[in-house]
């Protein structure tokens, strides 16, 4: 038995075609969005889970795991192997210039507080963060779900900071998203909200048309002017700014931004060749993954 609440599943093998899908959601319109629910339950997930626990106790089910030992050992081994592979991958690109997202991700997770909120608004970095970061509490990672938007991050970070005063709020954003929603940093500055914006500046929206079959043949430009100084732009209105071109500069820039006490932007010049294999690899403009 597995209990999920609010998850959006797709097709097999993500969701077992032979499994019974019981969906619990407080919003009726979300029932059956992605997978038809065989047993739909409209209700508060915490209340429903409490009722399940109470009923299990009444039936004398003590939670004993039957025949799970081998499975748990296998899962533990897979997890450990994956973590070792991540560390080895980061070691290979540790000193790379331009900066590789694996190094940037590791430095961020080493420096940020355990109870910080992370807002994701970067296509490339979303892949790296999802494999490195393990959330410690519900709502620690904030994004726009399956909608694949861009530019939502700064406004979400403002909301998160208002909801969690005194806690670190970090928005990881690309230069495309910053061009759409970046001026909300002025809102954060005006209302004294010390959100930290970590900008993955790879001077591009991402894909190259010739590597995207559905876009092949288009000639309109997709790249941006290289290495734009967005940090200076936001320093001019009063934000704290950092400009990072080398990997050894990442950690100290994060420490200064977290200590600035006001809205901050860390402008990291990233490798434009690097995407993420889970997000399409070379089809998304990457020659290095």
CA distance 15 to 167: 36
pLDDT in tens, 34-81: 778 899 999 999 999 999 999 988 988 876 666 667 878 888 999 999
Task: Report the CATH number that the domain containing residue 207 is assigned in CATH.
Answer: 3.40.50.970
Tell whether 111 and 156 lie within a shared domain: yes
Q: Which of 47, 64, 81 is the last residue of a domain?
A: 64
Is residue 78 included in any domain, yes or no? no
Tell whether 124 and 205 lie within a shared domain: yes
Task: Say which DSSP state 100 is in.
Answer: P
Confidence of residue 288 (pLDDT cuts 50, 70, 90): very low
Tell whether 102 and 226 lie within a shared domain: yes
CA distance 234 to 237: 5
* Residue 13: predicted pLDDT: 57
CA distance 4 to 16: 14
- pLDDT surpasses 70 at 281: no
Tell whether 120 and 33 lie within a shared domain: no
pLDDT in tens, 214-224: 566 766 677 88
Q: Average of pLDDT values for 141-147?
A: 81
CA distance 159 to 224: 29
Tell whether 37 and 111 lie within a shared domain: no
Is residue 289 included in any domain, yes or no? no
CA distance 139 to 105: 19
Q: Cβ atoms within 10 A of the Cβ of 7, count?
A: 10
CB within 8 Å of 5: residues ≥ 6 apart: 24, 25, 45, 48, 49
* Residue 30: predicted pLDDT: 87
Q: Average of pLDDT values for 170-191?
A: 97
* Residue 269: predicted pLDDT: 97
Confidence of residue 2 (pLDDT cuts 50, 70, 90): low
* Residue 289: predicted pLDDT: 39
Tell whether 150 and 49 lie within a shared domain: no
Q: Which residues of 73-88 are buried (b: 16+ CB within 10 A; e: fewer)?
A: eeeeeeeeeeeeebee
Is residue 254 included in any domain, yes or no? yes
- pLDDT surpasses 60 at 190: yes
Is residue 69 included in any domain, yes or no? no
* Residue 153: predicted pLDDT: 97
CA distance 203 to 270: 8
Is residue 86 included in any domain, yes or no? no
pLDDT in tens, 84-123: 999 999 999 999 999 999 999 999 999 999 999 999 999 8
Cα 187 to the chain's mean position, in Å? 23
CB within 8 Å of 124: residues ≥ 6 apart: 101, 174, 200, 202, 206, 270, 274, 275, 276, 279, 284
- pLDDT surpasses 90 at 230: yes
Task: Say which DSSP state 191 is in.
Answer: T
Tell whether 264 and 136 lie within a shared domain: yes
Tell whether 157 and 267 lie within a shared domain: yes
Name which of 36-50, 139-153, 225-239 the model is least confident about.
139-153
Q: What one-character-per-residue DSSP string does 25-92 give?
A: ES-GGGTTSSS--SEEEES-HHHHHHHHHHHHHHTT-----SS-HHHHHHHHHHHHHHHHHHHHHHHH
Count of structural domains, the chain? 2
Q: Which of 64, 86, 115 is the last residue of a domain?
A: 64
Q: Which domain holds residue 44?
A: 1-64
Tell whether 115 and 250 lie within a shared domain: yes
Tell whether 140 and 246 lie within a shared domain: yes
- pLDDT surpasses 90 at 237: yes
* Residue 161: predicted pLDDT: 99
Six token digits for residue 105: 């991700």
Beta-bridge partners for 264: 196, 240
* Residue 115: predicted pLDDT: 98
Tell whether 163 and 24 lie within a shared domain: no
**CA pseudo-torsion sign 44, 138, 35, 13:** negative
CB within 8 Å of 270: residues ≥ 6 apart: 98, 99, 100, 101, 104, 124, 200, 201, 202
Tell whether 254 and 122 lie within a shared domain: yes
Computed over every residue of the chain, the mean pLDDT equals 86
Is residue 156 included in any domain, yes or no? yes
Between residues 24 and 272, which one has the greater pLDDT? 24
Q: Average of pLDDT values for 164-177?
A: 97
Is residue 215 included in any domain, yes or no? yes
* Residue 155: predicted pLDDT: 98
Is residue 81 included in any domain, yes or no? no
- pLDDT surpasses 80 at 211: no
Between residues 224 and 13, which one has the greater pLDDT? 224
Between residues 220 and 128, which one has the greater pLDDT? 128
């Amino acid at each position: 038995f597995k209990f999920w609440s609010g998850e959006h599943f797709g097709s097999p093998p993500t969701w077992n075609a032979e499994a019974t899908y019981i969906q619990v959601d407080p919003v009726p319109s979300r029932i059956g969005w992605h997978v038809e629910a065989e047993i739909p339950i409209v209700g508060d997930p915490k209340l429903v889970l409490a009722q399940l626990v109470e009923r299990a106790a009444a039936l004398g089910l003590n939670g004993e795991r039957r025949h799970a030992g081998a499975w748990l050992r296998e899962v533990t081994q897979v997890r450990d192997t994956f973590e070792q592979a991540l560390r080895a991958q980061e070691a290979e690109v540790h000193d790379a210039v331009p900066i590789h997202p694996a190094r940037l991700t590791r430095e961020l997770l080493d420096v940020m507080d355990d109870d910080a909120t992370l807002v994701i608004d970067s296509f490339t970095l979303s892949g790296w963060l999802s494999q490195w970061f393990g959330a410690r509490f519900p709502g620690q990672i904030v994004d726009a779900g399956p909608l694949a938007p861009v530019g939502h991050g700064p406004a979400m970070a403002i909301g998160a900071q208002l909801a969690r005063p005194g806690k670190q709020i970090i928005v990881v954003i690309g230069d495309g998203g910053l061009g759409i929603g970046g001026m909300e940093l002025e809102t954060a500055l005006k209302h004294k909200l010390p959100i930290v914006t970590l900008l993955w500046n790879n001077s591009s929206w991402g894909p190259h048309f010739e590597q995207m079959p559905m876009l092949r043949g288009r000639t309109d430009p997709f790249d941006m002017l290289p290495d734009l100084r967005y940090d200076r732009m936001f320093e001019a209105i009063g934000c704290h700014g950092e400009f990072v071109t080398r990997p050894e500069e990442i950690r100290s820039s994060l420490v200064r931004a977290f200590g600035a006490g006001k809205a901050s932007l860390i402008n990291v010049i990233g490798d434009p060749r690097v995407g993420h294999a889970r997000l399409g690899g070379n089809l998304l403009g990457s020659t290095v993954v």
